[in-house]
Each structure stands twice: as structure tokens, then as C-alpha cells.
Amino acid sequence: MTTADTALVETWPGTVFPPAGVGVVVFDVVGTLVEPSPSVAVAYQQAALRHGLTVDAAVIQERFKAAWRRQEMVDAAAVPAFATSRGREAERWHAIVDDVFGGEAVSGAIFADLWEHFGRVEAWQPLVHGRALVRQAIDAGVTVALASNFDERLLAIAERLEPLSWVPHVFASSEIGWRKPAPEFFRWVERRLGCGPDEVLLVGDDPELDVAAARRAGWRSLGVADR
Ligand SMILES: [Mg+2]
């Protein structure tokens, strides 16, 4: 995280939210409003165990980080960069699971298990600071939306899990056809909400995919955690 981004993080909860002049607040979802519970590493470990494979959670955590980064690089190198679809999102997660379990024969079955797991509302828990920010944005009377790199599995979860269920507009990458940090992602959200870049604030946990990418798109942005 850069110094500028850290300074931004420190502005909340120390300042007025949403800031003056903001008419639209767009929230990232994973790591900003909700987190996996149990953790990704433990969910992967439990899924592997159900298929007869024992792997240490710390090993899974390291492999998962590397696999996730590898898929981000695949998307960055694609033409056009960061375009996505339902098919690409399923392919991403299948490749990540394959990377984590080293091409084990049961990897496909573990992937199917995990795909279903992370599509269930019970796999997620709200973050306290996220809940407070969504409540403040709604109470301020601004337009509030969710815009996530999560795929369309998010839509069913968002209907049932607070504070996601409080938000009237839910946009998922596979529906948009683009992932953050693609500028097209931000333009698509503007079109759907009927707003211009100068009135939007993005709130997110990722210094690059949320905070920096939104600013390049001409939005304001607020980082909420240093992960
Ligand atoms: Mg996030």
C-alpha cells in the first residue's frame, strides 16, 4: 500500500462519510463488507478432506495466494485485459483449485465442492466496519451500489446477507463483462446508475484493484483496510 493510500485509510472513521459532493457510493464486497467464514484456507482444507486429501492450512494459504496472483496475471495479459464472463470465472477458480492441490485426481471434485460452498450465504460473514459504512451511506440519502469482482453467485448471497441486502444495486463482474481494474468496469457501473465519474466514491479494501483503479477512472476512492 502506498503512503497516499494509507492516508486515505486513516480518513475513516475520522472524517465525515460519505464526503461532501459524493452522490453515489459504490462498495467493493469481499474484504470490504464481508469475508469468508471459515477462512479460504480452512474451507479449502475441509473440502479436500471430504475427498480424502489432507493438506496443511498454512500450505494451502501460500499456494492460494500464488494461484490467485497467477490468474490476475492471466487476465492482465489477455486481450482485452480484464474482460470476463461466467465461463472465465469458473475457469479461474478451477485453475486456482488445481494449482492449490497440485493436480491431484480429486481436484475437479474439490473444485465443484468449493464452487458450491462459496455460493452459499453461510460461507460469508459481515465485517463490522462495512456494515457501519453502508448504513451511513444509506442514511445520507446517496445512491448506494455493490460492484464486485465476484461472479454472479454474489447475487443470491446479496439478497440474504446484511449489509449487502440493504443495497438496491448489485453488480458482479461476470454480468458486467469486466473485472476491476479495467476502466470499462467503472464506465459500465456509471451507465447503469446514470451518473458521471466526478460524483462517485468507491469504497474498497484492495489498494490497486479498488483504490487506484477507481481513481484512474476519475472516481474518488476510499481504502478501508490494509490487507
Ligand atoms: Mg475486496
Residue-wise pLDDT for 106-146, tens only, equals 999 999 999 999 999 999 999 999 999 999 999 999 999 99
**Cα(181)–Cα(75) distance, rounded to whole angstroms?**
10
CA separation, residue 44 to residues 36, 98, 142, 181, 220 (Å): 11, 11, 38, 27, 35
Ligand 1 center to residue 105 CA distance, Å? 31
| Number of Cβ atoms within 10 Å of the Cβ of 159 | 11
Tell me which DSSP letter residue 210 carries: I
Predicted pLDDT at 226: 54
Ligand 1 center to residue 179 CA distance, Å? 12
- Mean pLDDT for 13-30 is 89
Confidence of residue 225 (pLDDT cuts 50, 70, 90): confident
Ligand 1 center to residue 54 CA distance, Å? 29
Ligand 1 center to residue 30 CA distance, Å? 4
Predicted pLDDT at 12: 56
Ligand 1 center to residue 204 CA distance, Å? 6
- All structural domains of the chain, each given as residue ranges with its CATH number in brackets, are 3-33+127-223 (3.40.50.1000), 40-122 (1.10.150.720)
pLDDT by residue (tens digit) across 165-210? 999 999 999 999 999 999 999 999 999 999 999 999 999 999 999 9
Ligand 1 center to residue 147 CA distance, Å? 10
Ligand 1 center to residue 184 CA distance, Å? 18
